[in-house]
Amino acid sequence: MSLQTISTPIKDELEEFDIYFKSLMKTDVALLDIVLRYLTKKKGKRIRPILVFLTAHILGEINERTFRGAAMVELLHTATLVHDDVVDRAETRRGLLSINAKWNNKIAVLVGDFLLSKGLLIATEHQEYGFLDITSNAVRRMSEGELQAIEVIKKREITEETYYRIISDKTAALISTCTQIGAASVSDDKELIKKMNDFGENIGMAFQLKDDLFDYLSTSSLIGKPVGNDIREKKITLPLIHSFENSEKSEAKKIKKMIRKGDLSNKDVKYIIDYTKENKGIEYTIEVSNRFKQKALDILNELPTNSDRQTLIDLAEFVINREN
């Protein structure tokens, strides 16, 4: 399954959107214009605008509001990536130097702020206050999720319930924003909009669970994520959380001490990964991910049966089971 095949029903709209989005990134401030052109030099998979457009397409007729909603989401997403690179001190993004690495942190932060302001202006200029409410709520949740994750790393303790809240806010919030805005751009049916919001939320949860799982799989190196990367960064995700609950307290204490100490060797990482395998942490994570995925598909199954619905199902499968 390829993303190009999945997005075929909205191919023309996506091409129009690319032109529209690039027009939003133009400015008469020379330095800013250079940075923005660099930022759009290598576009990603466009999963978020595709989710907006496909949701709108399956429920109604794509219109100008759909384009505005998709732009607001993409501006928000791009801004968060720029800001995240500053926080994480990342040097690359999509195979290119990050904005902070190529220029500096101050420029990167200001560019991120500019992108956020463009989203706000789209909303106010076109009286899209409903969209503004949806995206503002996403920003709030994403910020809270990031801060809670930082707090957890400091305390070195996390419950399964807290873990779900963190990934819901950090990841699922933006994906549910896409499907919610896509629905709201073509329908006033609050129940339907809520349903599509829940669909996106469940996709986002399954997506993050699968991403966390890659840290424990030998195949993760094939998708560009080093094995044990989260472990080295002292991130405790569901495979470990479940293993702690499913093993002897003395062994769980030993693993926690290793992670707390940091500077893990390859042998240490392998030991921790083997520990999660022995205590069903990986099996359990797969089970939970599939549970969220099924919830998302059950919501779609409530919609009228047609080829467009199947396209959205295919996209959900692609997002969750992506290989990079």
CA 266 to chain centroid:
28
**Closest to 121 (Cα-Cα) out of 164, 84, 71, 171:** 71
Instruction: Check pLDDT > 70 for residue 41.
Output: yes
Beta strands in 128-261 (DSSP E): none
Average pLDDT (230-258) is 91
Q: Which residue has the higher pLDDT, 264 or 319?
A: 264
Question: For residue 192, what pLDDT is reported?
Answer: 93
Is residue 223 very low, low, confident or very high in pLDDT (cuts 50, 70, 90)?
A: very low
Max distance between CA atoms of the chain, in angstroms, equals: 63
pLDDT in tens, 136-182: 999 999 999 999 988 887 777 789 999 999 999 999 999 999 999 99
Average pLDDT (300-306) is 77
Q: Rounded to an integer, what distance in angstroms lies between the CA atom of residue 239 and that of residue 182?
A: 33
Question: For residue 292, what pLDDT is reported?
Answer: 96
Q: Rounded to an integer, what distance in angstroms lies between the CA atom of residue 217 and that of residue 315?
A: 24
Structure tokens at 220: 């993760």
Percentage of the residues of the chain whose pLDDT score is greater than 90 = 68
Question: For residue 195, what pLDDT is reported?
Answer: 95
Question: For residue 313, what pLDDT is reported?
Answer: 84
The one-character DSSP state at 221 is G
pLDDT in tens, 246-297: 999 999 999 988 888 878 888 999 999 999 999 999 999 999 999 999 999 9
Question: For residue 77, what pLDDT is reported?
Answer: 94
Lowest-confidence segment of 83-87, 90-94, 111-115, 286-290 by average pLDDT: 90-94
Residue whose pair of structure tokens reads 């992108």 in the numeric block = 115
Question: For residue 311, what pLDDT is reported?
Answer: 82
Instruction: Check pLDDT > 90 for residue 90.
Output: no
Average pLDDT (232-255) is 92
Q: Rounded to an integer, what distance in angstroms lies between the CA atom of residue 199 and that of residue 258?
A: 38
Residue 59's SS3 state is helix
**CB burial of residue 297 (10 Å; 0-12, 13-18, 19+):** middle
The one-character DSSP state at 220 is G
Non-local CB neighbours of 135 within 8 Å, separated by 6+ positions: 72, 73, 76, 119, 123, 177, 181
Is residue 226 very low, low, confident or very high in pLDDT (cuts 50, 70, 90)?
A: low
**Closest to 237 (Cα-Cα) out of 258, 204, 262, 214:** 214
Tell me the average pLDDT of the chain. 89
Does the CA dihedral 311-312-313-319 come out positive or negative? positive
**Quick check: 92 and 98 in contact, CB under 8 A?**
yes
Question: For residue 150, what pLDDT is reported?
Answer: 87
CA 136 to chain centroid:
16
Backbone angles phi, psi at 29, to 5 degrees: -90, 110
Question: For residue 220, what pLDDT is reported?
Answer: 43
Non-local CB neighbours of 73 within 8 Å, separated by 6+ positions: 48, 49, 52, 135, 174, 177, 178, 181
Question: For residue 127, what pLDDT is reported?
Answer: 96
**Closest to 8 (Cα-Cα) out of 53, 73, 70:** 53
Structure tokens at 6: 């999945």
Instruction: Check pLDDT > 50 for residue 321.
Output: yes
**Quick check: 142 and 175 in contact, CB under 8 A?**
no
Q: Which residue has the higher pLDDT, 192 or 315?
A: 192
Pick from 71-75, 249-253, 318-322 the range whose average pLDDT is largest: 71-75
Task: State which amino acid sits at residue 107.
Answer: I
**Closest to 231 (Cα-Cα) out of 218, 212, 250, 205:** 212
Q: Which CATH superfamily is domain 3-320 in?
A: Farnesyl Diphosphate Synthase (1.10.600.10)
